[in-house]
Amino acid sequence: MSTLHTVNKSSYDRNTLETCVSLTTKGSEVILIEDGVYSAVKAGNKASLIANAMGDVNFYVLGPDLKARGLNESQLIDGIKVVGYSDFVELSVKNDKVSSWL
Amino acid sequence: MSEIKKFCYLNRTAPYGTVYAWESLEVVLIGAAFDQDCSLVFVDDGVYQLIKGQDTTDLGIKNFSPTYSALGDYDIKKIYVEKESLEARGLTLDDLQHLVWEDEDEDWAERDSIILVTKDELAKVIDEQDVVLSF
């Protein structure tokens, strides 16, 4: 069953992304929203969390949250897609379920 | 009654420090009251919720841990505990409450509710659910 996972906390503060990624099955999708977007920065020392799972999981970052925090696409781990609100809605509908990590 | 869905309650927080564990238990009981197919998952600090011998008398707050032993009466038979989370915290199954449900097909024999699973097994369990609620 396909799942879209949402992660809204920084991986430098909480372990939600780490646990989320470790419990996803192949083909799952993860969208980083709110403070979750900090985890997508390539130069950060938590970047391997995402980079290592990139082959099995599709990663997205919510653009408006990225912009609000003064970050841009060029700073992100390669392969992460930046999406807007309407894409977020489509991802939610496309997958069988949404799992919101708190 | 409409279709039964598979509900998974994902517990990742220790009890008492925040209200998540107690809130989760309340929502679980609601799901069970509506005859849904409920599975509980305990991972990360969530495994601390099931430790036996909790005593909150000096805190002046309710010790809700005895409620877990009532889950069997609500037909909740699947309580998954992640092995890696237990081990990382120096815990074993013996440190947790012994939770059971009664099998009416077998003269009400007691069956263990707690299922110890590895991370990979747990990923599959969560994948099969219709709804995942995270606490």
ipTM above 0.90, yes or no: no
Lookup: tokens for B49: 């919720």
Residues within 8 A of B (CB atoms), A 63-102 only: 96-97, 99-102
Residue in A closest to B13 by C-alpha: A102
Please tell me the total count of domains within chain A.
1
Nearest-Cα distance to chain A for B68, in Å, is 22
Cα separation, A9 vs B46, whole angstroms:
18
Q: Can you tell me the mean pLDDT for B73-98?
A: 95
Write down the pLDDT at residue B3. Answer: 87
Q: A32-84 pLDDT, tens per residue?
A: 999 999 899 999 889 999 999 999 999 999 999 999 988 899 999 999 999 99
Are B6 and B37 spatial neighbours (Cβ–Cβ below 8 Å)?
yes
Chain B residues with CB inside 8 Å of A24's CB?
A: 123
Cα B124 from chain centroid?
Answer: 17
The pLDDT-based confidence of A18 (bands split at 50, 70, 90) is very high
Burial of B84 (0-12, 13-18, 19+ CB in 10 A): middle
For residue A9, the enclosing domain spans 3-101
Helix intervals (H) in chain B: 20-33, 83-88, 119-127
Helices (H), A13-61: 16-22, 47-51
Please give the order of strands across the beta sheet that includes B114-117: B114-117, B78-82, B37-42, B6-11, B131-134
Sorted by where each starts, the structural domains of chain B and their CATH numbers stand as: 6-134 (3.40.1260.10)
- Identify whether the C-beta of residue B111 lies closer than 8 Å to the C-beta of residue B77: yes
Distance from CA of A25 to the nearest CA of B (A): 6
B→A contacts (Cβ < 8 Å), by residue, are: 10, 12, 20, 43-44, 119, 122-124, 126-132, 134-135
CA distance B114 to B112: 6
What pLDDT is stored for residue A3 in this prediction? Answer: 96
B48 beta partners: none
The CATH number linked to A33 is: 3.40.1260.10
